Amino acid sequence: MTEPAQFSALRDQLTTAATQFAGAPGAATDILTGIVDDVDRALREELEIFPVCHHSPASALAMARRLHEKRPSVIYLELCEDLRPILDELRNCKLPVAVQAWAGEPDGLPKEWAPLSVVAPITEASAEYQAIAYALDTPGVELVLVDRSTDHVFQWTPAEPAEPAEGEEAALHGDAVGIEIGDMRPHFAELEQHLLHHGKVRHWSEWWDQYVEQPLSGADYDTYRQVMVLIGSLFRRLRRTDLDRDEDRERYMWTRMREHLAATGADPASCLYICGAFHAASRVEQFGLASQAPFEITPRSATAWQYGLIPSSHSAIEAQFGLASGSVSIATATWAKGLRRNGIKSFQLNGQPAKASTRRGKVQPLATVPAAADKLSGFLSSPPQLDALDEAELLEWSVDIVRLARRNGYLASTADAIAVFETSILLAGMRNRARPTPYDFQDAAITCIEKDHTPGRRDVRRLCEILLGGDRIGQVGYAALPPLAQDVLDRLEPLGLDLSKRTVQRCLLDLQTDKHLQPCSDLLWILRRLMPAEAVRPIMGTRALGERSIQESWDLAIGKHQRALVQIGYEGVTLEQVLEQRLRRAVNDPDATAAVALAAVEDALLYLGSSRLADELGSRAVELLAAERSVDDAPEVLRRIRLLLNYFRSTEAGLPDWCGKFVTAGYAHYCTLLPTAFADEDTGVRPVAAMLGFLFGMENLALSLGCDHTQLELAVLQSHPEAPAKVALLWATRYQLGLLTLPELRTRCDDMLANPLVVPAFPQYLSGFIQAMDPVPTLKPFIVEVLSKAFGRLPDSVLLPWLPKLITTLKGQAAELIPSLTREAGRTFPATLPALQSWVPPWIAAPKPLAALPAAPGGPATDLLRSHPATCDALTELLGYQGTWQSAGPATNTAVTALLDKHPATATALATLVPGA
């Protein structure tokens, strides 16, 4: 290759510097001389290459000026080629927004990547938007997107797509893969740290603004172009990863441009190719227009892609590109200042609101120079000059930040404004800067204004970002919204609210008076189910199975969460269709559970009112329950199936078939898993209690449908838990089945309270008893009795250390059942203080001596009771008496015998049934 004469001086300087630094020609010499060759090759290309950095005000200023001067007829833009149709909708939006391609079901791509999403954010202070606005609003100009399609983005992704960017507002772009047009980071950690250290800056955004943006914002076009290609070439040669894929991407773009030029016959001299500076310095250009070497472009997959616009924000763009917080706001301020200073008229799509700062002034064309003249040597050797306008702007910022700080609770004054101004200049001098930058101003404001605490919600750093433009959030216009979003806004029009506003709006629906508002209420509840909780929030009114509100009050922030609504619009035509699809997808997911399916059934009835869909989802719930091998979801399953059974029993149609199948399948399933759940240490006591609640609560229905009670008894007999809580739960279960009497249960608890080795673990036993209140509600009086005995018998030395453990155990394992236990205690204990003084607990009250009761003559009833004393003993125990029938005397008669004598027919019939009577 012949050495370019116009860059020979710069080439000699770089070669000499590399030799002196390394001692001999080597890799450093090859890099430094190679970047000069890359600049020369890019400038000599027949098709003019315009290198850009994404969201760079210097690139946007140079682009606006170049478009006014060159007036190209064809613009080739580095952006996914299939995004071209949606760009026409940008005129209906408020920037910043992001162009998005979305696919819910991959076809030909890995299923685990779903949903697929690609976003390309666009701001006004970007070269790409200036080119788009010029091409769309200038007659006879064609805009051609030449980058790989969104489908090829994922085809060329060897591993999983990139993780979503972190940050407070990064969720605006969700899990989308960001298209980083003009990414200008070195991707070389040692070089980046070296530049940050010697540039005396904290992060890459500040270095780029200081040493690239500010010097190039007022430079001529040739200087801008050569410097950007030089930087792109340097970063490219230092990067050693993904170069093959980058070169394939560049071959893709040059192939598309070759095809378009051949098809249209356009003159390359009237065309402009806009790409990142990294790609502008590529050697692939030699395969460009004059090359006949074909590059095979693989066909797209069968994935169905949908395209649209979603709101973006400065913070979301910063998170996507790894920029410092506030850097995009600073770039916007630099863009506005450059327009005013240079008198440049920016391009803006018709239909968007015009700004005075972008419409004022005339273009001041720079002196034309030969296209290949060396502008690098002078630019690299001369420092930037301090502009008088910067000093005035710094003074204005200093006054405004004090005013803003006072509004936010800071005790700032005019002296602080002077201090901020002087400190900004001082910091710039300490950092060897020709002029203070917004970052110097921000550091000075924090130093001079921020004290030991932040009086309000915003600190000084955030106030500086607001002063410089704030976190602007874009908005998609009605005409650019997907059909579903437009349908939602149309159906909510009777509310009389402007839902495009980003503020929270309150609406009141009187459904009893205005019947036409009922569809709006139904739609709001579906939006509540599908959108974030802050977007649609009910203040008054509820919606549950079998319940409807007569009045509702809502806080609506749909405009603020427009991105979520647009995202839903990709999934269907109406909200009802989207909800139905999501419910079906949820129950058919490989990780779906019976609880998820029951929740889907409830949603289908609640929001869609579809019995057909509910039956379909309920049948799936039966399949999922039978296939489960874990009981962790048993509490949720029990709660939801109880709710659904109560609802269906209140309807005219009654229980559907799937409910009966669910109950029978659940009865057999939980009986089978009960012994394992009792013995498994990883299974908590609450799921086991929920299983028992299902078995006991649904037993009557299950038995009527053909289940066998013996299966439950065998499962209980095979259960042998070791955990104290499960042991107590098993005792309660055996009591419910009649396998354990109440005196035996009381004896066991008394023995535990009397055993000092067991007392520390007694809270665990008590937790098991409380969990048993749901499946065995008749045990509530006994639990109150056990608690009373514990507090009455245990000494303070044992009770005081034992009490915190009891509270934490009950709070962690049975918190939802404590109110029920409290109500039972309220029924047991007296309600007044005088009654409490004379009150005797029923479990320790002594009965009246039977001998004191009036005697009565004997009779057949007395003879019958004497013949079967065990029956009488059981009756006296239930009545609260202590003692046996024999101790009452041979001729004793009670109210029971008197009653039997009064109705001899009953006693005679009973006698015939008792053998030997």
Q: Is residue 911 pLDDT above 80, yes or no?
A: no
- Name the band, by pLDDT with cuts 50, 70 and 90, for residue 556: very high
Q: Do 309 and 476 contact (CB within 8 A), yes or no?
A: yes
For residue 213, the 8-state DSSP code is I
Residue type, 547: E
β-pair type (505-510, 116-122): unpaired
| Nearest of 599, 585, 671 to residue 631 by alpha carbon | 671
CB 700 within 8 A of CB 709: no
What are the tokens at 402? 């004090």
Q: What is the mean pLDDT of residues 17-34?
A: 60
Tokens linked to 328? 């995009």
Cα–Cα distance between 709 and 410 in angstroms, integer?
74
Q: What residue has token string 């057999």?
A: 668
Q: What confidence tens digit (pLDDT) does each residue in 742-790 have?
A: 989 989 988 988 888 888 888 888 888 888 988 999 888 898 888 888 8
Read off the pLDDT of each residue in 517-537 and give the average, rounded to a whole number.
92
Q: Tell me the pLDDT band of 177, cut-offs 50, 70 and 90.
A: low
Task: Tell me the mean pLDDT in the region 474-482.
Answer: 88
CB atoms within 10 A of CB 98: 28
Mean pLDDT of 180-207: 70
Please report which confidence band the pLDDT of residue 606 belongs to, taking 50, 70 and 90 as the band edges. very high
Q: What is the pLDDT of residue 888?
A: 46
From CA 403, how far away is CA 396, in angstroms rounded?
11
- Region 304-323 average pLDDT: 85
pLDDT single digits (tens) 575-590: 999 999 999 999 999 9
- Where residue 134 falls (left for φ over 0; alpha for ψ -120 to 50; beta otherwise) is alpha
Residue 776's region, left for phi above 0, alpha for psi from -120 to 50, else beta, is beta
β-strand 93-94 against 97-103: which pairing, if any?
unpaired
- Count of C-beta atoms within a 10 Å radius of residue 293: 8
CA–CA dist 209, 442 (Å, integer)? 14
In this prediction, residue 809 carries a pLDDT of 78
Residue 821's pLDDT band (cuts 50, 70, 90): confident
Residue 565's Cβ-count burial label (10 Å; 0-12, 13-18, 19+) is buried
Angle among Cα 448, 450, 453 to the nearest 5 degrees reads: 155
Q: What single-letter DSSP state applies at residue 607?
A: I
Using CA atoms, how far apart are residues 638 and 631, in angstroms rounded to an integer?
Answer: 11
Residue 726, classed as helix, strand or coil, is helix
State yes or no: pLDDT of 367 exceeds 50: no
Average pLDDT value for residue range 25-31 = 59
328-341 pLDDT, tens digit each:
888 888 888 888 88
Residue 97 Rama label (left phi>0; alpha psi -120 to 50; beta): beta
Q: What is the pLDDT of residue 358?
A: 42
CA separation for the pair 184, 683 (Å, rounded): 54
φ, ψ of residue 184 to 5 degrees: the values are -120, 65
Helix ranges (H only) for 325-387 are: 327-342, 356-359, 376-381
What is the H or E stretch that residue 44 is in? helix 27-44
Euclidean distance between CA atoms 133 and 87, whole angstroms: 10
Contacts (Cβ under 8 Å, ≥6 apart) of 241 = 187
Could you tell me which residues are beta bridge partners of residue 51?
Answer: 275
- Is 311 strand, coil or helix? strand
Contact 679, 686 (CB under 8 A): no
- Give the up-direction half-sphere exposure of residue 403: CA atoms within 13 A in the CB hemisphere: 8
Q: Which residue has the tokens 């110097």?
A: 440
Round to whole Å and give the CA distance between 306 and 529.
23
Q: State the DSSP code for 477.
A: -
The CA distance from 246 to 180, in Å, is: 13
